[in-house]
């Protein structure tokens, strides 16, 4: 039986699930053990055909946390997250994927207290990438920076798009009022970069953003995630073209940020899709079929600007090399695909 909700929900934790029985217990236990009492857990399940909802109900019914389990007949994480948003009653919302988990029992309490003390729109924190056995693959602190003082949205967006700081869907809590007031949702039917589009829109509408300088969540790299259809990664270009349109229609001037998207971010996403396709065994001809059907990909690569930081430099070199010597670049990527990392 559901636990009565506290008078005021501080944080709504939204967890989409689909055939997640292998991971959902660890995920939910990490939320149940949170010291913040005023949370609600919203499970939105895409009609799993395993024991996901059964396990979730068993765990949550024995906890002291308010919860809801909702069945979502539409496949896709964007649909599920939107259902969660429409259901949420918390002052802040937090999205957690069913195979990831919080690592500190007071993580959400620390985030919420900081949000209230500083009247923040977004509280950001670190995350570590781990394998399914919790072995560290990479630490946030070694790759990215934190927001160490309250910053405005444009500064944060620039640093985010330059890869200096990083937001994934599970390493921040967002003021729900910001999301509601600006009608921000996940684009349904989008399967690549839907989280980044949501994040950019929230950041663009936020005025106070600050980090907790610690990793509070583990992002699990699953073995089966490595075999996803890598050619679909090219769809991230469509996502960032929508982001450009969104920013260009705002009253404020976002030309400098749109320039970063055109000259660095989209070329990076194209080369990332190429590299990951090579790494997963996609042929040169199959990659070129996609590229030739979308001539604007070549236009973006030709527009790549040189930069001295690693993010800009690596994108520039890989883009120009691929334009000049596509087959040779493919061969080099294939030879060194297990040694190189591209995003």
Write the pLDDT tens digit of every residue in 63-116. Answer: 999 999 999 888 789 999 999 999 999 999 999 999 999 999 999 999 999 999
For residue 44, what are its two tokens? 């939105």
86: domain CATH number is 3.90.550.10
Q: How far apart are CA 20 and CA 23, in angstroms?
A: 6
- Give the domain range for residue 163: 11-225
- Flag whether 43 is in a domain: yes
Please state the separation of Cα 216 from the chain's center in Å. Answer: 15
- Flag whether 195 is in a domain: yes
- Flag whether 105 is in a domain: yes
Does residue 169 register a pLDDT over 60?
yes
Same domain, 128 and 270: no
- Flag whether 69 is in a domain: yes
Map residue 263 onto helix, strand or coil.
helix
Q: What is the pLDDT of residue 289?
A: 97
Same domain, 220 and 250: no
216-232: average pLDDT: 79
- Flag whether 341 is in a domain: no
Percent of the chain beyond pLDDT 90? 85
Q: How far apart are CA 240 and CA 245, in angstroms?
A: 9
Same domain, 183 and 318: no
Q: What is the pLDDT of residue 343?
A: 55
- Flag whether 4 is in a domain: no
Q: Which contiguous run of DSSP H or E holds residue 207?
A: none
Q: What is the pLDDT of residue 4?
A: 47
Instruction: Tell which of 225, 242, 262 closes a domain.
Output: 225
Query: pTM higher than 0.75, yes or no?
Result: yes
Same domain, 94 and 63: yes
Does residue 321 register a pLDDT over 50?
yes
Percent of the chain beyond pLDDT 70? 94
Task: With cut-offs at 50, 70 and 90, classify the pLDDT of residue 336.
Answer: confident
Segment 226-250, tens digit of pLDDT: 445 789 999 999 999 999 999 999 9
Does residue 142 register a pLDDT over 70?
yes
Instruction: Tell which of 209, 225, 241 closes a domain.
Output: 225
- Flag whether 3 is in a domain: no
Question: What DSSP designation does 39 have?
Answer: E
Segment 6-60, tens digit of pLDDT: 569 999 999 999 999 999 999 999 999 999 999 999 999 999 999 999 999 999 9
Same domain, 280 and 204: no
Same domain, 129 and 218: yes
- How many residues does the structure list for the chain? 343
Give, in order, the Cα–Cα distances in Å from 7 to each of 38, 40, 65, 91, 110: 8, 11, 13, 12, 20
Same domain, 237 and 193: no
Instruction: Tell which of 225, 260, 276 closes a domain.
Output: 225
Same domain, 220 and 236: no
Q: How many CB atoms lie within 10 A of CB 89?
A: 13
Q: How far apart are CA 274 and CA 125, in angstroms?
A: 30
Map residue 236 onto helix, strand or coil.
helix
Does residue 309 register a pLDDT over 90?
no
In the block, tokens 């050619």 appear at: 231
Does residue 174 register a pLDDT over 60?
yes
Phi, psi of 142 (to 5 degrees): -90, -15
Q: How far apart are CA 197 and CA 216, in angstroms?
A: 23
For residue 130, what are its two tokens? 């781990």
Q: What is the pLDDT of residue 5?
A: 56
- Flag whether 1 is in a domain: no
Does residue 223 register a pLDDT over 80?
no
Same domain, 248 and 163: no
Helical spans, DSSP H, in the chain: 24-32, 52-61, 77-87, 107-118, 140-143, 153-161, 176-181, 194-204, 236-248, 255-260, 266-279, 284-293, 295-302, 310-324, 326-336
Same domain, 215 and 295: no
Same domain, 210 and 69: yes
Same domain, 210 and 322: no
Does residue 222 register a pLDDT over 70?
yes
The count of structural domains within the chain is 2
The mean-pLDDT minimum among 112-116, 164-168, 190-194, 223-227 falls in 223-227
Q: What is the pLDDT of residue 342?
A: 54
């Amino acid at each position: 039986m559901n636990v009565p909700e506290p008078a005021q929900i501080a944080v709504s934790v939204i967890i989409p699930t689909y055939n997640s029985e292998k991971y959902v217990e660890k995920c939910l236990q990490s939320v149940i053990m949170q010291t913040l009492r005023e949370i609600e857990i919203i499970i939105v399940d895409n009609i799993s055909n395993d024991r996901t909802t059964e396990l979730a109900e068993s765990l949550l019914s024995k906890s002291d946390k308010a919860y809801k389990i909702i069945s979502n007949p539409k496949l896709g994480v964007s649909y599920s997250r939107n259902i969660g948003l429409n259901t949420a009653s918390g002052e802040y919302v937090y999205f957690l994927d069913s195979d990831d988990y919080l690592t500190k029992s007071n993580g959400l309490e620390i985030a919420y207290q900081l949000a209230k003390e500083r009247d923040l729109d977004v509280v950001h924190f670190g995350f570590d990438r781990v394998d399914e056995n919790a072995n560290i693959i990479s630490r946030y602190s070694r790759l990215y920076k934190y927001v160490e003082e309250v910053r405005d949205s444009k500064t944060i967006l620039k640093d985010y798009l330059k890869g200096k700081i990083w937001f994934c869907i599970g390493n921040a809590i967002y003021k729900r009022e910001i999301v509601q007031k600006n009608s921000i949702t996940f684009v349904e039917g989008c399967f690549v970069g839907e989280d980044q589009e949501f994040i950019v829109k929230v950041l663009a509408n936020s005025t106070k953003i600050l980090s907790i300088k610690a990793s509070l969540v583990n992002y699990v790299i699953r073995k089966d995630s490595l075999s996803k259809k890598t050619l679909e990664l090219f769809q991230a270009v469509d996502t960032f073209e929508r982001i450009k349109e969104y920013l260009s229609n705002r009253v404020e001037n976002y030309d400098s940020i749109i320039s970063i998207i055109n000259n660095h971010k989209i070329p990076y996403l194209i080369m990332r899709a190429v590299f990951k396709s090579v790494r997963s065994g996609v042929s040169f001809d199959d990659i070129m079929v996609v590229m030739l059907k979308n001539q604007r990909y070549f236009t973006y690569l030709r527009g790549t600007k040189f930069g001295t930081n690693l993010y800009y430099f690596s994108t520039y070199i890989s883009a120009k090399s691929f334009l000049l010597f596509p087959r040779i670049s493919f061969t080099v990527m294939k030879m060194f695909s297990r040694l190189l990392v591209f995003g």
